[in-house]
Amino acid sequence: MRLAAHLFVQIPEPAQLEQLRALSSRYSVAWEAQNDDGWSKLLLRTPQIDRQLQARYGRAFPSCSTQTVFIKQLI
């Protein structure tokens, strides 16, 4: 079993996925959603916890929230 770190970012504004992706082009996108509920959501594959990236999102989007998520990879 291996744990893979991901960064989950969400912002309570519609149509913000492009801006969220642009802030971190060095990580690939694992999942994204832009729902009718008015939220833009992004899950980035990160090799480890990246507090600097979380802070960068917080500065760029004051209303966003971020969370590190660990996903089990069963081998």
- Specify the number of domains making up the chain: 1
Note the pTM of the prediction, 2 decimals. 0.89
* CB-based contact 3:71 (threshold 8 Å): yes
Percent of the chain with pLDDT over 70: 99
Tens-digit pLDDT profile for residues 25-60: 899 999 999 977 889 999 999 989 999 999 999 999
Predicted pLDDT at 74: 79
Residue 49 maps to which CATH number? Answer: 3.30.70.260
Whole domain around residue 63: which residue ranges?
Answer: 2-73
pLDDT at 71 exceeding the cut of 80: yes
pLDDT at 1 exceeding the cut of 90: no
> Binning pLDDT at 50, 70 and 90, where does residue 22 land?
very high
CA distances from 12 to 18, 36, 44, 56, 69 (A): 14, 11, 18, 17, 19
What are 38's strand-pairing partners?
none
- Rounded to whole angstroms, how far apart are CA atoms 30 and 24? 13
